[in-house]
Amino acid sequence: MAKLKVVHYINQFFAQIGGEEKADYPAEIRVGEVVGPGMALTQKFGDDAEIIATIVCGDSYFNENLEKAKADILAMVKEQAPDVFVAGPAFNAGRYGVACGTIAAAVQEELGIPAVTGMYVENPGADMFKTQVYIVSTKNSAAGMRDAVNKLAPLAVKIGKGEAIGASSEEGYIPNGVRVNFFEKERGSKRAVKMLLKKLADKPFETEFPMPDFDRVDPNPAVKDLAHAKIALVTSGGIVPKGNPDHIESSSASHYGEYDIAGVMDLTEETYETAHGGYDPVYANEDSDRVLPVDVLRDMEKEGKIGELHHLFYTTTGNGTAVASSKAFAAEFSAKLKADGVDAVILTST
């Protein structure tokens, strides 16, 4: 049987074009080329499939020009007419994951070509697209490339050949909510008692019905009297006093910073910068107001549009930082904000 034809999508980083400073790289196709992670995929494909073209696109370019990037890439894929489309893996890179999910879903939906991608379960792209395309569950960094490719390649071959796909736990994809009837070897009562015995003995057990994770918080009532309201600033964009005194990590932050801006009218190149390693820092380092709008809020404070700008701001880097960590940081500083009588928060993200 002839090898399946694969078109592979990767970002500027995995194509070795550059890091964040090249994230605005527009989409391009390299026909006949196998690039970056495509090498590992090719090896794993063996005689089953081959990459006939690689599409490269910068993560910021894709997300900021969503419609155009999508249309351009769809046209490129259509021309190659592959049997299957593979995007990523994106690990825990947020914009890359969203790009992979968006384009894989579009290829499948609009071109009728089966598609598969891979990413870490906390990547925002996973929640957004797991019900639309198969997303192989990967580790949170490229150190997990081998593991990712070992799942991604066989699944790509299977869906390319139109073979039946097994349960998420067998194939290694993120559960997509699809349920299939099948006969278990043991009846339910027996399985339930076994599970209970394991639980009582503090042994690991696997539930057959995980509860859906719908963590939604209802909106609070609106601010009634803006002219007397105390407004606080929070950011995941990593703005810190110059020199990053608390050494907030450029990714996978282990803590947040609390900084006093009493008397600070404007964030300048000499006084503030970003610690964030997940976007091109040039613009934020030049003028941190571009991420944390202190200058404008000071003007509005003077004009009486707002009551006051709270004298402390809270900051961390939202780059690859675990959801559990962000949650813990915010629970802690929100209690402080509440205690300080803050009426509303403006939270900015990059």
Partner 1 sequence: MVKEVERAGIPVVHICTVTPISMTVGANRIVPAIAIPHPLGNPALDKAEEKELRRKIVEKALDALTTEVDGQTIFD
What does the alpha-carbon distance between residue 170 and residue 150 come to, in Å, rounded to a whole number? 13
What's phi and psi for 247, nearest 5 deg? 50, 50
CB of 68 to partner 1, least distance (A): 15
CB of 44 to partner 1, least distance (A): 30
Q: Please say which residue, 150 or 325, places its beta carbon nearer to partner 1.
A: 325
Torsion over CA of 203, 204, 210 and 211, rounded to 10 degrees?
A: 60
- Return the beta strands (E) in 139-216 as ranges: none
Q: Please say which residue, 84 or 306, places its beta carbon nearer to partner 1.
A: 306
**Longest pairwise C-alpha distance within the chain:** 75
Binding site for partner 1 (CB under 8 A): 20, 23, 60, 63-64, 94-95, 98, 124, 127-128, 215-224, 226, 231, 234, 236-237, 279-284, 286-287, 289-293, 295-297, 299-300, 305-306, 316, 318, 326-327, 329-331, 334-335, 337-338, 342-350
Residue environment code for 268-281, b if the CB has 16+ CB neighbours within 10 A, otherwise e = eeeebbbbbbbbbb
Distances in whole angstroms, Cα of residue 131 to Cα of each of 121, 171, 174, 176, 262: 13, 15, 9, 5, 47
CB of 307 to partner 1, least distance (A): 11
Q: Please say which residue, 64 or 110, places its beta carbon nearer to partner 1.
A: 64
What does the alpha-carbon distance between residue 137 and residue 121 come to, in Å, rounded to a whole number? 6
By CB atoms closer than 10 A (0-12, 13-18, 19+), residue 88 is: buried
Q: Please say which residue, 33 or 266, places its beta carbon nearer to partner 1.
A: 266
CB of 258 to partner 1, least distance (A): 14
CB of 115 to partner 1, least distance (A): 18
CB of 342 to partner 1, least distance (A): 6
Q: Please say which residue, 20 or 83, places its beta carbon nearer to partner 1.
A: 20
